[in-house]
């Protein structure tokens, strides 16, 4: 294949543009990882701009065990896991009903869920926080419940539209065989919507893992803090220890980046679908 010179110049210019933007995304992250392996003396000499001499895991050890990052991390894993579990169960039950079952008020209720997705509530965390305090739920349970709510609307919408596209033959067959609705939902419905469930799980995991505002209001006890709130605390305590800070940021970023690279197709699908609703 021969490429015309004019086209070649165009391609080179295009790639220069794309590569420079891509570098602007990666370089700070790479710098962060690189600096996290340095000792503070090494860092003071080169500001983390030269490659680390060795993979020195000391900063990670200090951040996890002495700095409490380990606790924050496990808390986040806990909140994310439980919240996403509830979102998956509640939203798939509701989506199944919205798509397949009849009951009075069905369309209105679905419409309310949809509207909730579109109306911005910039200070929604204020009344939620007050409410949780009043109910004596300003704790792990309350947080998980409030976070479950944050993911519900979009998840129901995604799963409902997916259910709508599926043929009903399998469910009809199951019903004729005497399967109850609950068992049809679990044994027939859930496996069929698995691709949409993957999107729901990943997008919600990201939301919960990255949530900061409500968590920072609710958890003043360091033992309960998720990693985003913990990072702010950790930063304030170790402002001058730059390499330690970079290790703590790397720890918080690691699961997200890993999941993102493995599952990026699903994530992109979910984000696009979420935006298209509006």
Does position 245 interact with another protein (CB under 8 A)? The reply is yes
Contact stretch for another protein (CB under 8 A) within 52-60, 67-75, 112-120, 191-199 = 112-120
Rounded to a whole number of angstroms, the distance between the first and last alpha carbons of the chain is: 44
With CB under 8 A as the contact rule, the residue among 3, 9, 17, 65 that binds another protein is 17
Q: What residues contact 57, with CB distance under 8 A and at least 6 apart?
A: 37
Name residues contacting another protein, limited to 211-230 (CB under 8 A).
Answer: 212-213, 217, 228
Q: What residues contact 157, with CB distance under 8 A and at least 6 apart?
A: 95, 113, 114, 117, 277
Q: Which is nearer to another protein, 165 or 236 (CB)?
A: 236
Name residues contacting another protein, limited to 187-206 (CB under 8 A).
Answer: 206
In the block, residue with structure tokens 């496990």: 74
User: Nearest Cα to 155, choosing from 200, 199, 110?
Assistant: 200
* Shortest distance (Å) from residue 8 CB to another protein: 13
Does position 152 interact with another protein (CB under 8 A)? The reply is yes
Does position 3 interact with another protein (CB under 8 A)? The reply is no
Q: Which is nearer to another protein, 102 or 165 (CB)?
A: 102
Name residues contacting another protein, limited to 47-66 (CB under 8 A).
Answer: 47-49
For every residue of 75-120, DSSP letters joined together read: HHHHHHHHHHHHHHHHHHHHHHHHHH---TTHHHHHHHHHHHHHS-
Does position 5 interact with another protein (CB under 8 A)? The reply is no
């Amino acid at each position: 294949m021969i490429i015309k010179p004019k086209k070649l110049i165009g391609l080179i210019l295009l790639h220069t543009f794309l590569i420079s933007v891509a570098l602007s995304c990666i370089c700070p992250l790479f710098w962060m990882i690189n600096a996290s392996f340095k000792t503070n003396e090494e860092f003071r000499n080169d500001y983390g701009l030269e490659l680390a001499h060795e993979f020195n895991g000391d900063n990670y050890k200090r951040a996890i065990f002495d700095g409490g990052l380990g606790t924050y991390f496990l808390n986040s894993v806990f909140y994310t896991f439980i919240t996403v579990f509830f979102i998956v169960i509640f939203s798939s039950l509701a989506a199944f009903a919205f798509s397949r079952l009849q009951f009075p008020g069905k369309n209105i209720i679905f419409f309310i869920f949809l509207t909730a997705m579109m109306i911005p509530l910039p200070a929604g965390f204020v009344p939620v926080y007050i409410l949780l305090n009043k109910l004596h739920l300003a704790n792990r349970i309350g947080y998980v419940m409030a976070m479950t709510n944050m993911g519900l609307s979009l998840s129901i919408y995604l799963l409902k539209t997916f259910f709508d596209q599926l043929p009903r033959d399998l469910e009809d067959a199951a019903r004729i065989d005497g399967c109850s609705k609950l068992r049809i939902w679990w044994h027939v419905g859930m496996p069929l919507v698995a691709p949409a469930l993957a999107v729901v799980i990943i997008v919600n995991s990201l939301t919960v893992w990255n949530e900061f505002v409500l968590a920072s209001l609710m958890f003043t006890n360091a033992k309960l803090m998720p990693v985003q709130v913990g990072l702010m605390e950790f930063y304030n305590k170790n402002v001058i220890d730059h390499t330690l800070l970079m290790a703590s940021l790397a720890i918080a970023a690691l699961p997200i980046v890993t999941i993102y690279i493995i599952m990026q197709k699903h994530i992109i699908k979910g984000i696009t679908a979420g935006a298209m609703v509006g």
